[in-house]
Amino acid sequence: MIKIAVVSYKKQEKFTQGTSDDEDVDLIEFLKGKGLDAVPAIWNDRSVDWSEFNVAIVKSPWDYHNHLTAFLMWLDSLEKLGVQVLNPTEIIKWNSHKLYQKDLAEKGLSVIPAEYLERGSLFDPHFFEAFGTDKLVLKPSVSAGAQNTITVDKHNYHEQLDEIAQLIKVADYIVQPFVEEIKSGEWSFLFFNGRYSHCVLKTPKKDDFRVQHHHGGSISYPAPNALHVAQAGTYLKHLPQATLYARVDGVIVNNSFVLMELELIEPYLFFNGDDRLLENYYQALRALI
């Protein structure tokens, strides 16, 4: 029988706050109910013998961005053992640095405009003019959950120069114009093996821009516009390999979907214990293994 590791991390409350379901548990129980030998495993737990597994589903290693080198080495070790990694290692490596957005933009896909600051470089206020905006968003090029993400205002950015310098001193950063449409919410479209499954709308709390539940964001389940679903799906058609799971996050600008993040490593999938959505995932998994 195929043995499957459903890969997670050493749990931290800050990442699970605000979620009512432990969807890893739900997923494992559902897969077991389908007759699969699926067990939880922590990616950097040295007691795990990865050679015992045929497949490793990279489900929720929510601390990978704080240990990127070790995480990528772990992925390489799985490949050497002949373990099938989902999503594929090549895709995960590409998706781990936000330069992937430049690749997508160069393919003609709709992505929030961006410039990149290498670690140790200096912030330059020309970004305000370059993007034609009074407000910028700065976030680490390797990050998750809005960690160390800030907004910078044209009229008082001088007050933040020390903070910005400290952030860029230790990490590469991506600079983007603040998109006002985020106040209406960020759409997340979920695809399994390239096929659309479901979506959610994540809305920031008042006077905030971060939509994550651990930052006070709220989640709703409106019916999506079929046009926006189709637009979200186009990003996946430009990937070199099929993905078990993909969450396409973005905003609607002038009735058109614009990408904010293509989540191919460890996105929360919003199953909410719904067997129909878990079935979609299972069918995708079965097709790929």
Convert the pLDDT of each residue in 107-130 to its tens digit: 999 999 999 999 999 998 899 999
Is residue 198 exposed (0-12), middle (13-18) or buried (19+ Cβ within 10 Å)? buried
DSSP label at residue 52: G
10-24, 68-82, 199-213: which range is least confident on average? 10-24
User: Cα angle at 189 between 187 and 194, to 5 degrees?
Assistant: 160
Please report, to the nearest 10 degrees, the dihedral formed by the alpha carbons of residues 115, 121, 123, 125 taken in order. Answer: -70
**Matching fold, domains 3-89 and 100-110+181-271:** no
CATH number, span 115-178: 3.30.1490
Q: Looking at domain 3-89, which CATH architecture does it have?
A: 3-Layer(aba) Sandwich (3.40)
Per-residue confidence band for 11, with pLDDT thresholds at 50, 70 and 90: confident
How many Å apart are CA 101 and CA 107, to the nearest integer?
A: 10
Report the DSSP beta bridge partners of residue 151: 137
Question: Considering just the CA atoms, what is the radius of gyration of the chain in Å?
Answer: 19
- Does position 149 have pLDDT exceeding 80, yes or no? yes
Residue 14 confidence (pLDDT): 44
Q: Write down how long the chain is.
A: 289
pLDDT at 146 over 80: no
Confidence (pLDDT) at 148: 85
Per the prediction, the chain carries an average pLDDT of 92
Q: Report if pTM > 0.85.
A: yes
C-alpha 83, offset from chain centre: 23
pLDDT value at 214 more than 80 = no
Q: What's the half-sphere exposure (Cβ side, CA atoms, 13 Å) at 218?
A: 7
Give the separation between CA 189 and CA 235, rounded to whole angstroms: 11
Q: What are the extents of the domains in the chain?
A: 3-89, 100-110+181-271, 115-178
CA-CA distance, 139 to 171, in Å (whole number)?
9
Q: Which CATH number fits domain 100-110+181-271: 3.30.470.20, 3.40.50.300, 3.40.47.10, 2.60.40.420?
A: 3.30.470.20
Residue 17 pLDDT level (bands cut at 50, 70, 90) = very low
At residue 182 the predicted structure's pLDDT band, cuts being 50, 70 and 90, is: confident
